[in-house]
Structure 1
Amino acid sequence: MSDKHEAQPGDTYASMIPYVVPASLDLLQGPTAGVVELPTRLDWSPNSRYDLASLDEAIGLYNKVISEASTEADLTQYLNRDVLVALWPRLRLPRRCAELWNQRFPELAAGRRG
């Protein structure tokens, strides 16, 4: 599900980015181990491979996919519910993106406080 609304006076570019939030965390059935290579539409950096055995690389992958996904399919292919819940407190997402996910999934916000 995309976050779409019409531009209003005073809106900033950051407030208009159409972040995608899944309908349910249970849809996130992506990998939990191994090396994941992201397509250019999600990661245009020179190294778009992430080893999920590395905490730092897993965090990088989740930050990138959540902030750059343009479809729910991007999220379901690369993210895993259990990994997301475990990593959520460590992710550094754009403020509005994190707010949209926290609004849809209060259990993520609760995990950050806990």
Structure 2
Amino acid sequence: MRRYAKPIVVADDLGLLRGRTTGVVTLPRHLDWSGAADYDLDGPGRIVDLYRTVLIEATKPDDLHRFLDRTVLTRLWPSIWLSPELRRAWELRFPELRRTAPEASAA
């Protein structure tokens, strides 16, 4: 029996990630159908929730370019829970994301 596999979408270029970094962002229904699609990026943890949702649910690179920011993604990358396949795809395209998490390098 074949399982449906959602395609993994990766940004075309990290420089194209120019999403908002403050204020309230409302994701379109194709990215967040939960009914709680408003993300207050100034609230603790909500920006991580938004980034995780967009990374997992993106259907085209433009979704990533529109809602993610390069600097924020790079900062949050080590702490965002993602499937191994999704993380691997991004790190293969952008090796600079593959850095060691700060707490791991201190050991």
TM beyond 0.5: yes
SS in structure 2 of the partner of residue 36 of structure 1: strand
Separation in 1 of the partners of 2:43 and 2:77?
Answer: 15
Q: What residue in structure 2 maps to residue 86 of structure 1?
A: 75
Matches within 5 A, 1:1-114: 13=4, 16-112=5-101
Query: Where do 4+ consecutive residues of structure 1 move more than 2 Å?
Result: 10-13, 111-114
> What letter corresponds to residue 15 of structure 2 in structure 1?
D
**Residue ranges of structure 2 left out of the alignment (5+ in a row):** none
Counterpart of 1:4?
none
CA RMSD across the alignment: 1.8
TM-score by length of 2: 0.87
Please, which runs of 5 or more residues in structure 1 have no aligned partner? 1-9
- The answer on whether the counterparts of 1:88 and 1:108 sit within 8 Å (CA) in structure 2 is yes
Does the 8 Å CA contact 1:85/1:111 hold for their aligned counterparts? no
**Pairs aligned (count):** 103
Q: Distance in 2 between matches of 1:17 and 1:111?
A: 28
Instruction: Name the CA shift for 1:55/1:108 in 2 (closer, same or farther; >3 Å).
Output: farther
Using structure 1 for the length normalisation, give the TM-score.
Answer: 0.82
